[in-house]
Amino acid sequence: MTKLEIRFIPHAEIMGELQDQIEALDKLAFADDGIDDDPEFAGIHWATPDWMALGFLNSELVTQLCLPKREINVGAEKVWVAGIGGMAAHPKFQHKGYGSALLAAAEAYMRDEIQVPFGLLICADETRPFYKLARWQVAGDKLFYEQDNQQRVLQTCVMILSLDNQPWPAGEIGLCGSPW
């Protein structure tokens, strides 16, 4: 495997050609995911991340994910998490370990730089094994989020990763904002 160059960039600093590359990779990676046809996902206003994790091979963007930081509700507790969202790999670079390398780097970044106790992501059933290999655990099959001054529910696989060996609290998960 050619060495992946990984960069963590504040989202507010992404513009121009780099923004175009991210959007192009999104279109390639998610073109056939059917999310736009799923009524549960239709109309969701996705959260703007705080950082982007980007993986490059010879200056070509080949894998990416977004990292928002947020305090959420889990049962009666408030919990700080860093989210993983929009995980994507260019189709010609899939199944080569680059996405796994980026996810591992994101885990270290969440723990050491963002300094939160947990990572949280939502995923489709078909991608659950990928995250499970990286030690993510299923925390639920729905979560609540806020949009247009309403609380809404999203029926999807919710996975967490303990970054400091704290146990995940019991209870319903409320994102206190838009999903990522």
Q: Walk me through the domains of the chain, giving residue ranges and CATH numbers.
A: 5-174 (3.40.630.30)
Residue 38 pLDDT: 61
- Tens-binned pLDDT, residue by residue, of the chain (180 aa): 579 999 999 999 999 999 999 999 999 988 765 555 666 667 788 999 999 999 999 999 999 999 999 999 999 999 999 999 999 999 999 999 999 999 999 999 999 999 999 999 999 999 999 999 999 999 999 999 999 999 999 999 999 999 999 999 999 999 999 999
Alpha-carbon distance 19 to 106, whole Å? 20
CB burial readout 72-94, b (16+ within 10 A) else e: bbbeeeebebbbbbbbbbbeebe
Alpha-carbon distance 84 to 107, whole Å? 9
Alpha-carbon distance 141 to 154, whole Å? 8
Alpha-carbon distance 110 to 130, whole Å? 19
Q: Of 133, 18, 30, 5, which Cα lies nearest the Cα of 91?
A: 30
